Amino acid sequence: MTLASLERGIRYVIASVDCADPVVQRLMVLGLVEGAEVELASSAIGGDPLEFRMFGNAISLRREHARYFTVRPVDSIG
Amino acid sequence: MAKSSVIGVAVDQIKTRQHPSASIVVVGNPNSGKSTLFNRLTGLRQKTGNYPGVTVERHVGVARAGDISLELVDLPGTFALSAHSLEERIAVDVILGRMPGMARPAGILVVLDATHLYQGLYLTQQLLELGLPVLIALTMTDAAEAEGIRIDLPALEQRLGGVTVCPVVATTGRGLDRLREALGRLAGAAAPDVPEFWPALSAAAGELARDLPDAVTRTEIERALVDGPGELETHVAGLLGADGHRRLDELRARVFRGRPSLAEEARHRYTWVREVMDEVVQRAPVLMSWSSRIIAWLNRPVPGTIGLFVVMAVVFQAVFAWATPMMDAIDAGARALGSLIGAALPEGMLASLLVDGIIAGVGSVVVFLPQILILFLFIIVLEDSGYLARAAYLMDRAMRSVGLSGQSIIPMISSFACAVPGIMATRVIPNRRDRIATILAAPFMTCSARLPVYALLIAAFVPQETAGFFNLQGLVLFGLYMLGIAAGLLTALLLRRTALHGPKPTFALMLPEFRKPNLRTVLIQLWGRARVFLYRAGTVIFSVAVIIWALAYFPQSEEVAGELAAQRDRAAVTLSGEALDLAVQRLENEAAAAQLEQSALGRAGKFIEPLFRPLGWDWKISSAVIAGFPAREVVIAVLGTVYAVGDEADEATLSSRLRNAKWPDGRPVFTLPMVIGLLIFYAFCLQCVATLAVMRRETNSLRWPLFAWAYMTTLGYLGALAAYQLGS
């Protein structure tokens, strides 16, 4: 699953990033890298853009970019 | 602008006269409390100028540390040393000592937000590698405590290569004494040990360093490797010799293994950051506070969006409702002063200059100071509390439909105060096309200089009634704001479909926490705004008022004066007592009106009147509008002057004078369609030299400001024409 399909109230960890797009690289500099823990905080009207919490920071991005980040729930092992 | 160059000189003088040593740069993430700390450390001993060639503001201040004074440079907030936007590039150039006219800094004061260590440590690590002495101010420690965050300071200092970490609360001043003391020892201290986080990159940089002069720092080599093609890379490759580029490419292949270098850097650095955080940060669970519950609710899509509109509506209501008592007081004061001087001085040129020219002209503009301060107060508080970023996020989707992104919202909301800082705020937009479209939309937002014009006309011609909860005057004002927004957005849409066609903009934004704005910071900013406004009233508007008065006063017609004397004598024969006084008053007014009409201003106004006749404007309004082209609020001063000269009642306000204005055949000048047209003209027209100048600098071309001026003026004329012709 990707960042674009998180459920509220569950913590996830980023497993891999498809980083060919320069926008995605910029998001990685802002902290969205493998190993970062994220939670869905809110979304704007229409479900886009999305707001995530990551180690106390709030970051907002659009669904189209959220799709480049593959995540898994923190508790699961694989 | 001339202003910034004057300030630039002042800054240089500080440097050479008192502080021959290089300065200390203050670096941190945006919203890390950096500016609050800088204001705390330097107080009012600050200068603001511009960096050479760009409009990014340069804040330099002097801080006392014991008996030494230190020059501090407050850099724009940045997340990383990889320069993404113009402001970040400036920060990087200053830190690396590549900014023309600025020496390499003597040390770095890193502002690290205790509640946002994750991104803060990323930048901190990059700064530790620069080979400069580093001191860390750990801010927001009170907020961190409240959130249950506990930080092991000795462990943090050790992980950061032995630098000193001073916990502070910038808003209250807690911990500042210790920070000052440490600052005093900073210049000349040893550079920290660099934390090892990416052996492959260090090895590659070390290899290159052997073949490069000592002046090239480790950071510069690493940046040349990671950032790739650019000024720095060309510089380093040139120093390496003929095969410089080839060697860099080989090393890159080895270090990055074909992956995007920036992504690789982020991966390595954040791995280190997480290690540090695991070691030094402890989080205790805290109960969700009342305020954070409300904030969480306001973050939900529908309440959040409704909340945004309520906030904006409250701002506009407040601008009208709260300011009235203060405005009435200023207005009454100006009129009292006018009649006092009018009574004390003999009738003649001097009295006319003081009363009709200066007091009526400048007073009619100064009266709007309370409204402007209330507006700026809201904008500053919204920005400082972090709400504007939230607005960008909430509005992204709507902005996307006109071909922009949520990032364009912040410049536009700032433009409600003034388009100049609004246009400067577009620098955070990375794409040039998006940026120019935003720059051209921004001047349509109702700025604080349009506000007096709207306020005057609304107060004079819209009845003071309530429609449900809202006041009718407030509603009309709200409508004008909406008109400006709609015109701006449509303009952006048209441009994005035509001249600025291109890929749709991207959007990614850090959302700062809601914070209670700091009273001190808000007041310092508000005072700065008030000063600019009063300075303009005292210089530009004062001069215009005097010039307009002179144009309206000269030449004095002998014929008119003779006619008046003859008629007065004739009246004295047939009338007496109160009837005579009334008749004389009427004759004097007629004479004053005749005098004004044949004055230089009257003739010029008459000359251009045909152009504005289809809009229902008489020569007085036409000349006032023309005089207002350099700065739109001048129109008020001009109207104040031309309607004061030749008006019967000295005690009357400008509003009542406008209501009494008549065409020669007795019809009122200010009919509803004409007033609506005039309001539309001001909603659209770009009457502001400062905005044109900043557009020129920010787009680096004359084409865009000229286009904007012609486009907006045409739109204003056509709007006023349509309103008058359809309404009459």
B413 pLDDT band (50/70/90 cuts)? confident
**Is the pLDDT higher at B46 or at B321?**
B321
B507 in contact with A at a CB cutoff of 8 Å?
yes
Q: Under a CB-based contact definition with an 8 Å cutoff, are residues B70 and B63 in contact?
A: yes
B123 pLDDT band (50/70/90 cuts)? very high
Residues of B in Cβ contact (< 8 Å) with A28: 262-263, 266-267
CB spacing of A19 vs B263 below 8 angstroms: yes
CA distance B70 to B52: 22
Closest by CA position to B195, among listed B154, B241, B163, B151: B163
pLDDT at B587: 79
Q: What is the mean pLDDT of residues B655-668?
A: 83
pLDDT at A77: 53
Residues of A in Cβ contact (< 8 Å) with B302: 45
B277 in contact with A at a CB cutoff of 8 Å?
yes
Closest CB from A23, A34, A45 relative to B397: A45
Q: What is the mean pLDDT of residues B401-406?
A: 85
| Helix B218-227 and helix B261-280, axial crossing angle in degrees, nearest 10 | 130
Q: Under a CB-based contact definition with an 8 Å cutoff, are residues B252 and B225 in contact?
A: yes
Considering chain B, what percentage of its residues have pLDDT values greater than 90?
21
pLDDT at B483 over 90: yes
Q: How many CB atoms lie within 10 A of CB B110?
A: 25
Closest by CA position to B187, among listed B66, B283, B297: B66
pLDDT at B658 over 80: yes
pLDDT at B680 over 90: yes
Residues of A in Cβ contact (< 8 Å) with B277: 55
Closest by CA position to B477, among listed B609, B382, B374, B585: B374
Residues 6+ apart with CB under 8 A from B630: B540, B687, B688, B689
The domains of chain B, with CATH numbers, are 2-184 (3.40.50.300), 199-283 (1.10.287), 304-497 (no CATH), 532-727 (no CATH)
Closest CB from B122, B147, B507 relative to A49: B507
The ipTM estimated for the assembled molecules is 0.94
Whether A47 maps to a domain, the answer reads yes
What single-letter DSSP state applies at residue A7?
P
Cα B458 from chain centroid (whole Å): 26
pLDDT at A36: 93
pLDDT at B68: 82
In this structure, what token pair is assigned to residue B45?
């001993």
Tell me the whole-structure pTM to 2 decimals: 0.75
B119 in contact with A at a CB cutoff of 8 Å?
yes
Distance from CA of B487 to the nearest CA of A (A): 23
CB spacing of B299 vs A34 below 8 angstroms: no
Whether A62 maps to a domain, the answer reads yes
Residues 6+ apart with CB under 8 A from B421: B414
B267 in contact with A at a CB cutoff of 8 Å?
yes
pLDDT at B714: 95
Q: What is the 3-state secondary structure (H, E, C) of B151-173?
A: ECHHHHHHHCCCCEEEECECCCC
Residue ranges of B 467-506 with Cβ closer than 8 A to chain A: 506
Q: What is the mean pLDDT of residues B500-523?
A: 77
Residues 6+ apart with CB under 8 A from B530: B369, B372, B373
CA distance B328 to B370: 10
Helix (H, G, I), strand (E, B) or coil at B28: strand
Whether A78 maps to a domain, the answer reads no
Q: Under a CB-based contact definition with an 8 Å cutoff, are residues B546 and B358 in contact?
A: yes
Number of domains in chain A: 1
Whether A58 maps to a domain, the answer reads yes
CB spacing of B262 vs A28 below 8 angstroms: yes
pLDDT tens by residue, B40-77: 888 766 665 555 555 566 778 888 877 788 889 988 88
**Is the pLDDT higher at B268 or at B131?**
B268
B54 in contact with A at a CB cutoff of 8 Å?
no
CA distance B75 to B25: 7
B87 in contact with A at a CB cutoff of 8 Å?
no
Helix (H, G, I), strand (E, B) or coil at B273: helix
CA dihedral B320, B326, B332, B333 (to 10 degrees): -140
Closest by CA position to B669, among listed B603, B714, B605: B605
Residue ranges of B 391-410 with Cβ closer than 8 A to chain A: 393-397, 406
Q: Which residues pair with B138 in a beta bridge?
A: B112, B167
pLDDT at B20 over 50: no
Closest CB from B122, B270, B397 relative to A48: B397
**Is the pLDDT higher at B233 or at B506?**
B233
Distance from CA of B229 to the nearest CA of A (A): 15
What single-letter DSSP state applies at residue B18?
I
Whether A64 maps to a domain, the answer reads yes
CA distance B30 to B509: 11
pLDDT tens by residue, A20-40: 888 899 899 999 999 999 999
Q: Under a CB-based contact definition with an 8 Å cutoff, are residues A19 and A68 in contact?
A: yes
- Of B123-137, B400-414, B462-476, B694-708, give the lowest mean pLDDT range: B462-476
Closest chain B residue by Cα to residue A55: B118
Closest by CA position to B221, among listed B233, B230, B229: B233
CA distance B585 to B581: 6
pLDDT at B402 over 80: yes
Q: In which domain, by residue range, is A59 found?
A: 3-73
C-alpha distance across the termini of chain A, in Å: 12
B337 pLDDT band (50/70/90 cuts)? confident
Residues of B in Cβ contact (< 8 Å) with A41: 299
pLDDT at B618: 87
CB spacing of B263 vs A25 below 8 angstroms: yes
pLDDT at B503: 74
pLDDT at B366: 78
At position A45, the amino acid (one-letter code) is: I
Q: Which of A17, A27, A37, A60 to mutate to test the interface with B (most CBs of B within 10 A)?
A: A60
CB pairs under 8 A between A and B: 120
pLDDT at B192: 87
Distance from CA of B235 to the nearest CA of A (A): 24
pLDDT at B49: 57
CA distance A34 to A18: 11
CB spacing of A60 vs B511 below 8 angstroms: yes
Cα B376 from chain centroid (whole Å): 10
Whether A30 maps to a domain, the answer reads yes
In this structure, what token pair is assigned to residue B6?
């004057």
CA distance A63 to A48: 6
pLDDT tens by residue, A63-78: 989 999 999 998 765 4
Closest chain A residue by Cα to residue B297: A42
**Could you tell me the CATH number of the domain that includes residue A31?**
2.30.30.90
Q: What is the mean pLDDT of residues B521-548?
A: 78
Q: What is the mean pLDDT of residues B532-545?
A: 76
pLDDT tens by residue, B268-305: 999 999 999 999 998 877 666 676 677 777 777 788 88
Distances (CA, A) of B57 to B50, B77, B87, B531: 5, 12, 9, 18
pLDDT at B83: 65
Cα B470 from chain centroid (whole Å): 29
Residues 6+ apart with CB under 8 A from B558: none
Residues of A in Cβ contact (< 8 Å) with B393: 44, 49, 51, 60
Helix (H, G, I), strand (E, B) or coil at B312: helix
**Is the pLDDT higher at B348 or at B316?**
B348
- Of B364-373, B412-421, B569-578, give the lowest mean pLDDT range: B364-373
Task: Report which secondary-structure segment, H or E, holds B624.
Answer: helix B619-627
Q: Which of A18, A39, A57 to mutate to test the interface with B (most CBs of B within 10 A)?
A: A57
Closest CB from A44, A59, A61 relative to B394: A44
Residues of A in Cβ contact (< 8 Å) with B122: 29, 31
CB spacing of B267 vs A41 below 8 angstroms: no
CA distance B170 to B40: 7
